[in-house]
Structure 1
Amino acid sequence: MTNTLPPRTNTPDRVTTNDEGRKVTTVTLKRCCNGCGEYLGDADNRDVDAHGNLTDVRAECDHCRPLVELEAAGCKTWELTPRSFSRVANEIDRLRPWVFTKGYWQNVDDKLQVVGLRIGERPNHVVAFFGDWIIRHLDGHFTVHKAPQPTA
């Protein structure tokens, strides 16, 4: 799947001085990927469909494009978040052949907390952390598409 849309412009903030001598900053509305939240550039009319809903722009994102391509090929994907944890674990647990999931725990601030999901049994299991995407491939195996690392 290739992106046929022209690349987005990325207008920088512009600082000017108004008639009263005060600095005024003009910003252009930016669009972020609805998969990972990375900035894509200026928002434009491709971002809203005929019904006024925001469009899926993951195919424009270097990080999320592989997920879109896997989905188009028939793979099932889930984004793992604290809010989606129970639903994702339940959906994967019901897959046939039977798949085993379990919360993945780590010590965070001196407290043991669930930070992700373990899928499958050792030694062939995979671990997805919150923010990662879980991919079930057509042959039934699982991989994890890691969340992008935050930039400084």
Structure 2
Amino acid sequence: MSDRANTPDVRNPDGSLTIRMKRACNGCGQYVGDADDRDVDEHGNLTDVRAECSHCRPLVELEAAGCQTWHLTPRSIGRIDDAIDRDGRYAKGYWEDVNGKLTVTGLRLGSGPDRIVAKFGDWVIRHLDGTWAVHKAPDSAS
């Protein structure tokens, strides 16, 4: 777990609220604690704090072990589909009814009963042994 402080908001006697800025995980958006100097590198860019997040830490560990991961979004679906196709596996958009309209909501990997579905917000993982998996987005990320 993260060693970050997580300062609660304080209601002041005059009714105002004192807050401490929080840092969100750049993988799933869940809060990891108070923002501090670790959050910006020497160039002013936000640092990667996924290893501090209980949800995203397994992804960081898989990446360190050599697995490839992709965050599935409407912008990344084509790139991920291409990578899966190059690996010799079938991939196609996953369609669902959204408010009465057929809409792509994710990506289907494989075919038949062994297929897996990744929805937008999920992470697609290619393991070293060539198998594929999905790391579901947390419920709060929907």
TM-score higher than 0.5: yes
**What does residue range 104-119 of structure 1 map to in structure 2 within 5 Å?**
104-119=94-109
Q: Distance in 1 between matches of 2:70 and 2:112?
A: 21
The higher radius of gyration belongs to 1
Please provide the CA RMSD for this pair.
1.6
Q: TM-score, structure 1 length as denominator?
A: 0.86
Of structures 1 and 2, the one with the larger relative CO (CA 8 A, separation 6+) is 2
- Runs of 4+ in structure 1 displaced over 4 angstroms? none
TM-score (norm 2): 0.92
Aligned to 2:30: 38
What amino acid is the match of 1:37? G
Gaps of 5+ in 2: none
CA positional deviation for 1:126: 1.1
Q: CA deviation at 1:71?
A: 0.4
Structure with higher helix content: 2
Residue in 2 that maps onto 1:11: 7
SS of corresponding position for 1:59: helix
- Aligned match of 2:65: 73
Give 1:91 shift. 2.3
Matched, 1:149 2:136: no
Q: Does 1:137 align with 2:127?
A: yes
Identity among equivalent pairs (%): 62
Amino acid in structure 1 at the alignment position of 2:6: N
Which residue type is aligned with residue 144 of structure 1? V
Structure 1 residue runs of 5 or longer lacking an equivalent are: none
